[in-house]
């Protein structure tokens, strides 16, 4: 079974509007972390936001927020007030196990969603 599933190969949004990128995950470990990264065409993976499995509140970082629904095993990224520079590939990733554990260094990524922002 896929550990990280991103069902939207591509998404389009109008500039200044909000957009939600979907991510569902599969793990039996009670301790895990969820990440979103942005990858422009240059290739570098840019960290956007992190949510720990024990965090009570949804993570927010500027225009990025993570809609964490633990029971549904979903961690959707919401980008508010989209900008042209937001056009890129977006990856959801998961770390299983507690920080500092043997699996800490391994991130499992989804297939990604290409976001295109129209002017």
Partner 1 sequence: DAGVTQSPTHLIKTRGQQVTLRCSPISGHKSVSWYQQVLGQGPQFIFQYYEKEERGRGNFPDRFSARQFPNYSSELNVNALLLGDSALYLCASSFLRDQETQYFGPGTRLLVL
Residues forming the site for partner 1 (CB under 8 A) = 4, 33, 35, 37, 42-47, 50, 52, 91, 93, 95, 99-100, 102-112
Q: Minimum CB separation from partner 1 for residue 45, in Å?
A: 4
For residues 1 and 44, which CB has a smaller minimum distance to partner 1 in the complex? Answer: 44
For residues 79 and 92, which CB has a smaller minimum distance to partner 1 in the complex? Answer: 92
The closest of 40, 36, 94 to 62, measured between CA atoms, is 36
For residues 12 and 104, which CB has a smaller minimum distance to partner 1 in the complex? Answer: 104
Q: Minimum CB separation from partner 1 for residue 29, in Å?
A: 15
Q: Minimum CB separation from partner 1 for residue 107, in Å?
A: 6
Q: Minimum CB separation from partner 1 for residue 12, in Å?
A: 19
Q: What is the DSSP string of 19-77?
A: EEE--EE----S-EEEEEEEE-TT---EEEEEEETT-SS--EETTEEEEEETTTTEEEE
For residues 86 and 96, which CB has a smaller minimum distance to partner 1 in the complex? Answer: 96
For the record, the structure tokens of 24 come out as: 């569902």
Query: CA–CA distance from 105 to each of 2, 19, 94, 96, 97 (Å)?
Result: 19, 30, 11, 9, 10
């Amino acid at each position: 079974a896929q550990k990280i599933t991103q069902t939207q190969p591509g998404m389009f949004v109008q500039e200044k509007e909000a957009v939600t990128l979907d991510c569902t995950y599969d793990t039996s470990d009670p301790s895990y972390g969820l990440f979103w990264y942005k990858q422009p065409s240059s290739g570098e993976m840019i960290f956007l936001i992190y949510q720990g499995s024990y965090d009570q509140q949804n993570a927010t970082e500027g225009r990025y927020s993570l809609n964490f629904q633990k029971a549904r095993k979903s961690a959707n990224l919401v980008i508010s007030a989209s900008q042209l520079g937001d056009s890129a590939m977006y990856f959801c990733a998961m770390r299983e196990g507690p920080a500092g554990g043997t699996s800490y260094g391994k991130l499992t990524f989804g297939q990604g969603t290409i976001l295109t922002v129209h002017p």
